[in-house]
Amino acid sequence: MASLSSKPALVTLRQVLSELRKQANSKKLAENQMARYILNQYRKHQTTDQQLCKAADEMHFKAKTYYDYLHFSRRYKEINSEFKGKGERSVDDTARMVGFKLPHDPK
Amino acid sequence: MLNPINVHCKMFSVINIIKKTNVINPQIFDAVKHRCYATHKRFYRRTDIVQNEKSWEITLDHRRLKTPNGRVLTVNTEPLARAIAAEWDAQVEYISQPTMHLTALCNTALDNPGKLNSHDIASYLVDFIATDTLLFYSEEEELKKLQEKKWGPVLEWFNKRFEVKQVVTKGLELPPIATNTRAVLARYFLSYDFPALNAMCFGIEALKSPILMLACVDRYLDPKEAVLLARLEEEFQVMRWGRVPWAHELNQAELTARVAASLIVIHSSSERHSAANKSQGDRNV
């Protein structure tokens, strides 16, 4: 696979863009510098990524690695925040957990 | 009369509902809120990069990003600078530094808190080979078969790529490392510059295996596959005893992110070229 317009490379592109959309601060991808840069690179290496005697598949491997980095650091944060201890529960939370209500709660 | 089993079921369904809403709620989702270390609030709006002669810098609004020692953070390629800027842009309310591996790797390379040089790291890595995960086969038959099937091809690749002959061991005894292997690997490690070598060390410590890391650097394996091979025994036990997300999956996600980050730094530092677009005139020649 040498061309960056082949199917696996495009799948990777879609994955990277989706991760960027999930993580970046602004919601619009058109304003995202990184997304624009990656699209530019894809266009530049559209016909072949064999420049300067680089190994075949080099750009695609890079894109895949970057996707792995984005995806798994997000996964790590998600799992961590789901399971990390959040200190002692309040009386309120404990009551709600077992299906009770506090005396001053509205019915 | 209340049926105790009914009450029990109800209780658990309530717990499930609470747990689900917790995950969806964006405020609780921010992991840094319940942290055990000092944090900063996000103090900037935009992140960007600027080119400074041959190196690239990252800016947060109009301030330049600096290392903990106060030097300006510079990297040598545009994609790496952009990736770091994107990493800072991905911070929500608080800056969660422990998960920003790219920034951390570049910081360490510039500040060098351990006061190491390339030779120190190279000799450390060469010594690491003897305790490479891939060289220790299990005594249990089933696991050993799996290891031979999965690790065998990688070891074969390693022997072919570096033209060496590496033997494996059973049990706790260290496998012998030939002098030739050590020399070849030392030369290979020293062909990288300091930031790349530092990243290589980071990746190897995550995988506990220089061979797997070298396979990643050579694009024989991608980070996900390498982490799977490094955790082969754990995966084998998981198949038998079940998977626990807060241990196994968390570990897998963290290791993959670390290996991918170190690969990005290594690959970007080994290219350092200045590509120029061909002009129309050149094409006709």
A33 → closest Cβ in B48, B264, B267: B48
Which residues in chain B have Cβ-Cβ distances shorter than 8 Å to A32?
A: 86
Interchain proximity A23–B86, CB inside 8 Å: yes
Residue of A nearest to B11 (CA): A98
pLDDT in tens, A23-40: 887 777 777 888 888 888
User: Residue A16: pLDDT above 80?
Assistant: yes
A65 → closest Cβ in B223, B245, B273: B223
pLDDT in tens, A67-107: 999 999 999 998 888 887 777 878 887 888 788 888 876 65
B261–chain A nearest CA distance, Å: 6
d(CA A9, CA A25): 26
Q: Collapsing DSSP states into helix, strand and coil, what is residue B168?
A: coil
Amino acid identity at B128: F
ipTM of the complex: 0.79
Q: What is the pLDDT of residue B35?
A: 60
User: Residue B23: pLDDT above 60?
Assistant: no
Q: CB of B195 within 8 A of CB of B269?
A: yes
Largest Cα separation within chain B, whole Å, is 95
Tokens of A14: 């879609």
Q: What is the pLDDT of residue B6?
A: 45
pLDDT in tens, B224-251: 999 999 999 999 999 889 888 888 999 9
- The pTM for the full model equals 0.79
Q: B35: number of CA atoms within 13 Å, CB side?
A: 17
Which residues in chain A have Cβ-Cβ distances shorter than 8 Å to B10?
A: 99
Band (B134; pLDDT cuts 50, 70, 90): very high
Interchain proximity A72–B254, CB inside 8 Å: yes
Q: If you compute the radius of gyration of chain A from its CA atoms, what whole number of angstroms results?
A: 23
B282–chain A nearest CA distance, Å: 16
User: Residue B10: pLDDT above 60?
Assistant: no
Q: B207, B263, B265, B274: best mutation site toward chain A, by most A Cβ within 10 Å?
A: B263
User: Residue B43: pLDDT above 60?
Assistant: yes
Q: What percent of chain B has pLDDT over 90?
A: 59
d(CA A18, CA A31): 14
The burial of B228, by beta-carbon neighbours within 10 Å (0-12 exposed, 13-18 middle, 19 or more buried), is given as: middle
